[in-house]
Structure 1
Amino acid sequence: MVSQPTCIAHLHCPPLIPALAAEVLISATNQSMDSWDQSPAATVLEQQLVNWLCQKFGYPAIADGVFTSGGTQSNFMGLLLARDRFCQTYLNWSAQKQGLPPEAPRFRILCSEVSHFTIRQAAALLGLGEQAVVPVKTDAAFRLCPTQLAQTLEHLKQENLIPIALVATVGTTDFGSIDPLPEMATIAQTHNLWLHVDAAYGGALVLSDRHRSKLAGIEAADSITVDFHKLFYQPISCGAFLLKDRVHFDLIKLHADYLNPESNQAAGIPDLVTKSVQTTRRFDALKLWISLQNLGQQGFATMIDTTIDLAIETARLIAANRRFELANPPMINAVVFRYCPTPLLPTMNDPIAWSNQVNRQIRTTLMQRGQAVLAQTQIGDRVYLKFTLLNPRTTLDDISNVLNWIQQLGQALE
């Protein structure tokens, strides 16, 4: 056993010591982002970062946003506003004041069949139930298929159901797949759907000159989820919710005389609680701000580009070895593959079960030995292993070593 794994699938240790220092400072000061009078300087800094992010994603001047705990909260906010906007615009109904309208059981939210589970979770928490989420089939690259989307919308219409929102994923958890944003934006506009983009994983590509084009069309979204503890390399918790038109924050705005009185708004005093589902929350924007001051956008871009390059080279290594099967060419930095064992006996009844057993045991053994921690997923009835390459210090030699260990273990298990 070695004292430190050579390669870790979800290793978060880039050269961002200032972000960790900011984390300590945030905890030590115990500063809350409720209102202006509690944290005026922090309010200004967060708003400046939100404005910068909106500009980066191509949003207009009327855009706004707020920092969140991460992708789960941001996705919830996107669907919350989608629901309430539909109620107000098309039913003349205030969900905030009146609760769910009689039509709510017919509301539907569309997303790809490999979208994040928090879409279903948000639907449940919003009182619509998981049954409100309609999965749309994906193509061979695990991206939502626009043709299937159009057919699904037609079926919903025939069933007298009411589509209210469409969710696009920019970086699926397993494959890093990016849904076809321009086509989805057109369909959303045609059908008067709120378009929410879950860019928790892939949103950081906006910082890369080489890979920003993969986000083409994201500026058409009504709302965007960004999660900074992934390719922005920040300590958790740290995320953001961006809104194309700030007027939609009015759907959830509430005032309390002891916290954010209406007189503050009249005087132009910003109270961030009016656009958040949290009251007391941490000054997490400080981490991203300090990191940007330390590295700059180019520093972030270099780390992102390095890990994507490594994923491409890793995929080539895997594809060149007949004992491995590559599940997909990496779109970002996730590489999904499996070891392919030879069937034990010609009479073996279930070679797939045998292959799954071998891959699970490989992963477990590497972890127990302290050599590597690999992620695991499943495609259909087959178990796969996964590299999620987030550490810019990981080299191709590190990956080659892990692949050699996997092959040696596989052969030993056979």
Structure 2
Amino acid sequence: MNQKHKETLHQLAKDEDSAKKLEGLFSELENERDTAKEHLNLLENAIRSDYDSIIITTLELDKPGPQIVYVNDGFTRMTGYSRDEAIGNTPRMLQGEKTDRAVLDKLKKRLKEGQAFFGHTVNYRKDGTEFINQWDIHPLTNEEGEITHWVSYQHDITERKRSEKRVVDTNIEFDKLAEESKKTLIDLDEQGNIVTSNKAFRDLIGFDNDELKKKKVWELMADPHVETFRHKFDVFKPSDFDDKAYRVSLVNKKGNEIEVEAKARVLSSNGQKIVRIAFENKSLQKRIMSMLAGRDKDFDRVFDKSKDFNYKLFPVAENHYQFDYVTETFSELTGIASSEIQQTELSDFIHEDDIEKVLNHFEVVLDGKPNTEQFRIKTKEGDYVEVIDYAKPDWDIDESTVKAIKGATSTEVSSEKNA
């Protein structure tokens, strides 16, 4: 305690004994403050390599929005705003013209559900310059488990995004190419690093984009494939990859093995070689064949009607479909009556993270090819159940155009579930 504080306490105390008690209490509070500050500094040092900024906000999500109650020094360095300017303000102070509204809506939805959120969008510094801000937001709870605040760990990934663009040119950005997006793909550099991956691959393996960027491709493989692929990158030779097919096993985030066929080809981008690998899930195909074994081969009756359902739907616009019918088990599973099915959107019962893969699944069938896919359906209890869907094209009378999609969906996922 400094001398000025001591003098103030003695002036306020009624006698010397009271002053000494106040000094003791004040010193105790100072020690608690210093300990808390030390713990906070240790926390910030521990995550400094991964995050530039930390913000803690109040719980309110609707207007005027959550208020900032704490920012660290990293926030002021990253944004140019001082602590005084930030505290009492809202994180909206960083938003601007290019901030993605869809990302913000998803963020708000997740937080209203009490869930953590991970994502990124364009934010703005105090001087108006743009940067790409990656958030990792988590709830803070009290002793009763009630959410009281949100803590946001933030990272400026602008330079990383520029680097990725230099490595993967826009002419091979597969997430935006209709044909390529139907495949399960990753791109590798000449050292075997995963440069980027599409959503289908991330769904297959269970790791997000940032987790994959920290891995070599062979770190996702089960023995004995690890050493085989590692040696291919010791001395990179395009001839070792171009138009080659491999049968390998991947290990997903849950530790389960997935048997795949991998087809590699070499691309050039800005003077660098990129190995693009397309994967075909053989484990899923095996599970389909296993379920079909011994069952009636008539398509409309291949699945057990006590567990599964059939359907037929028509394409009515891009990425929009109208059901012709579903069998009764669908209603029992989802609570959506058969009479309501023509007004039902896919988003009404399919997990939001699986919508894209289901749309790609249907696109393959509209191209005239039977296809299988695994995704999650919302039950009438509000839970999600994993299903496997087998769909085939329903041709017009001339067999020149696919007029509809006929599917059989099974909830009988084998012991390899979520593999």
TM-score, normalised relative to structure 2: 0.23
If each structure's strand is expressed as a fraction of its own residues, which one has the higher value? 2
If each structure's helix is expressed as a fraction of its own residues, which one has the higher value? 1
Which structure has the larger Rg? 2
